[in-house]
Amino acid sequence: MNLLTATFYDISTAVKAKKISAVEVTNFFLTRAEKLNPTLNAFTHFNKNAVIDAQKIDAEIIAGKNLGPLAGVVFGIKDMLCTKGMPTTAGSKILQGFIPPCDATVVARLKNAGAIIIGKLNQDEFAMGSSNETSYYGNCKNPWNIDYVPGGSSGGSASAQSARLTMGTIGTDTGGSIRQPSSFCGIVGIKPTYGRVSRYGIIAYASSLDQAGPMTSTVTDAALALEVICGVDEHDSTTSNKSVDLFSKNLTTNIKGLKIGLIKEFMAGQSDADVEKVFSSALETLKKMGAEIVEVSIPLTEFAVPMYYLISASEASSNLARYDGVKYGYRSEFQNLSSLALDDFYGQTRAEGFGPEVQRRIMLGTYCLSAGFVDAYYNKACQVRRLLKNQYIEAFKKCDVIFSPVTTTPAFKIGEKSEDPLKMYLNDIFTTSTNLAGLAGMSVPFGLSSKNLPIGVQLTSAPFQEQKILNVALALESVSPVEGKTPNVY
Amino acid sequence: MIDEKTILHIAKLARLKINSKQAADYGQQLSKVLNHFDQISKIDTTNVEPLISPIEANFFDDMAFREDTAKNLFTAEEILENAPDKMGNLFKVPPVVG
């Protein structure tokens, strides 16, 4: 069995049948990851107990215990999710050395299903970024060309998965942070419907937008991981009681008669020639498979980027108030605590602990929520958010899934956009409206640019309709022009 | 253009220590970003209720509630494990009162 191409199902079946041990799988990926990580900087921490965890899985199998569908499957976890006993930094200095006392629900669910966590993955600081360039722990590289960004904020997840340093990864997506890096690195990434996956133990950036999701090599793996992590959680009152379908069992490539919606406003020439080519090719493929193409109009998508930054910065300014040097994380060096003004204690710790992009968004959010401005900015953006959601509800009366590019360009070079915040924000024009409306969205690879960089296509569904986008993604994957292609760093 | 006085006020609310140069930079960056956001102000939102969270449609029908019972999830030791400075079971901080 080739561990580099084996699926989750292949591995868990083989491990349960004792054809290969969890220890062997774990050692294979740990060795590979440790060898390639200095080039990519995808992992920020390796789990010192990974082999011990794997030994426990093997012992349970020998004892005849029934294990879950991910037995022996090795995962990397974005550093935004708490992992008990392992550092969890959110890519920030202000959480350097922080060791959570518990696992995030997502992590606990993966472990209950038999998965082995081999380490934590690099990311933009507090998930604020689209290139992994705001990480305190250094840039992460795109395995297809190490001069290029892997995307962000789940850059480490995308890079590690693309170079197959692990079998599966988990990322988070607030405005596109699973879908965009998945597209840039040529892997599958899914952001579930808001409320599908518990946010307990996930460091909060924007509480009404954040969702964790799997970033994997195949659609089938993504579907299986999704099944495992979705579900109501008593620790998170924003999770939905809606039953979780067996996404992986219900997969089909039969999309005859399925209505694929194209958003008129996303087809206005925003994308570059390489993206247009891949998108058109995928669209032709869908037509050949019997899908029906319909045009839908969602005019308010034009304002999705400013709405997203306004709302997310506001929510972040509140969520990041807890990083104050008191109970955990970084604290400035002070000579004499007893003669220090409290505001200076907070002000200096936070100024030293947060990077410039995070401070910029905290300032922006604080401004938008402050007395005198909250109605004009935050409340106004929330009103427009409702109108945007209503437009999507109308659009989904005409189609089953919405099909669009993920980004306007393939990956860009490290340093190319980091000087101008606004330029960086405009990366997200095709992805932010999904989070604002609480929909599900995914990216599936479908081509390479003229510079040999991956380009994905995006599928969006109405809330709780993940099966539909998984099916279309599987259909596309089954005839994908990039099937079997691997990056330079592999 | 957002003036330095406003920026310093916002920094105080956010408990972020910034110097004059940073205040000037933030003023410029925030003004540029907020100018871009001003396009939202032109959208007609008369009588539209703000959408604060996507789960509101599921309220009470769908949301997960738990029993209101206290649980001991962590010990004091576990909670103090990450403390930058502590004394016994207490976090050491500057004076809060006075």
Mean pLDDT of B70-75: 89
Average pLDDT, chain A: 96
Closest-approach residue (CA) in chain B for A379? B50
Interface probe for A, chosen from B31, B32, B37 (most Cβ of A below 10 Å), is B37
Closest-approach residue (CA) in chain A for B68? A234
Mean pLDDT of A250-263: 98
Interval B28-60: pLDDT, tens: 989 988 888 889 999 999 999 999 999 875 555
Q: Inter-chain contact A240–B55, Cβ cutoff 8 Å?
A: yes
Mean pLDDT of A127-138: 97
- 3-class DSSP string for chain A: CCCCCCCHHHHHHHHHCCCCCHHHHHHHHHHHHHHHHHHHCCEEEECCCHHHHHHHHHHHHHCCCCCCCCCCCEEEEECCECECCECCCCCCHHHCCCCCCCCCHHHHHHHHCCCEEEEEECCCHHHCCCCCCCCCCCCCCECCECCECCCCCCHHHHHHHHCCCCCEEEEEECCCCCHHHHHHHCCEEEECCCCCECCCCECCCCCCCCEEEEEECCHHHHHHHHHHHECCECCECCCECCCCCCCCCCCCCCCCCCEEEEEHHHCCCCCCHHHHHHHHHHHHHHHHCCCEEEEECCHHHHHHHHHHHHHHHHHHHHHHHHCCCCCCCCCCCCCCHHHCCHHHHHHHHHHHHCCHHHHHHHHHHHHHHCCCCCHHHHHHHHHHHHHHHHHHHHHCCCCCEEEEECCCCCCCECCCCCCCHHHHHHHHCCCHHHHHCCCEEEEEEEEECCCCCEEEEEEEECCCCHHHHHHHHHHHHHCCCCCCCCCCCC
Tell whether the torsion through CA atoms of A188, A192, A196 and A198 is positive or negative: positive
Closest-approach residue (CA) in chain A for B45? A383
Measured between beta carbons, which residues in chain A are less than 8 angstroms from residue B35? none
> Residue A406: pLDDT above 90?
yes
**How far lies A358's CA from each of A312, A323, A361, B4, in Å?**
12, 12, 5, 20
Closest-approach residue (CA) in chain B for A439? B54
Q: How confident is the model at residue A12 (pLDDT cuts 50, 70, 90)?
A: very high
Q: Which residues of A are catalytic?
A: 78, 153, 177
Per-residue confidence (pLDDT) for residue A105, from 0 to 100: 98
Per-residue confidence (pLDDT) for residue B61, from 0 to 100: 60
pTM over 0.90: yes
Mean pLDDT of A117-130: 98
- Select the residue of B33, B64, B81 nearest A99 (Cβ to Cβ): B81
Percentage of residues of chain A with pLDDT beyond 90: 94
Mean pLDDT of A256-261: 98
> Which residues numbered 429-468 in A keep a CB inside 8 Å of some CB on B?
437-438, 463
Q: Inter-chain contact A438–B43, Cβ cutoff 8 Å?
A: no
Interval A314-353: pLDDT, tens: 999 999 999 999 999 999 999 898 899 999 999 999 999 9
Which residues, at least 6 apart from A113, have a Cβ–Cβ distance to it below 8 Å? Answer: A67, A68, A69, A70, A71, A228
Mind telling me how many Å the CA of B46 is from chain A's nearest CA? 9
Q: Inter-chain contact B78–A338, Cβ cutoff 8 Å?
A: no
Per-residue confidence (pLDDT) for residue A83, from 0 to 100: 98
- ipTM of the prediction: 0.93
Measured between beta carbons, which residues in chain A are less than 8 angstroms from residue B83? 327-328
Mean pLDDT of A351-368: 96
Q: Inter-chain contact B74–A306, Cβ cutoff 8 Å?
A: no
> Residue A419: pLDDT above 80?
no
Interval B20-29: pLDDT, tens: 999 999 999 8
Interface probe for A, chosen from B9, B34, B89 (most Cβ of A below 10 Å), is B34
Mean pLDDT of A93-105: 97
Measured between beta carbons, which residues in chain B are less than 8 angstroms from residue A241? 58, 62-64
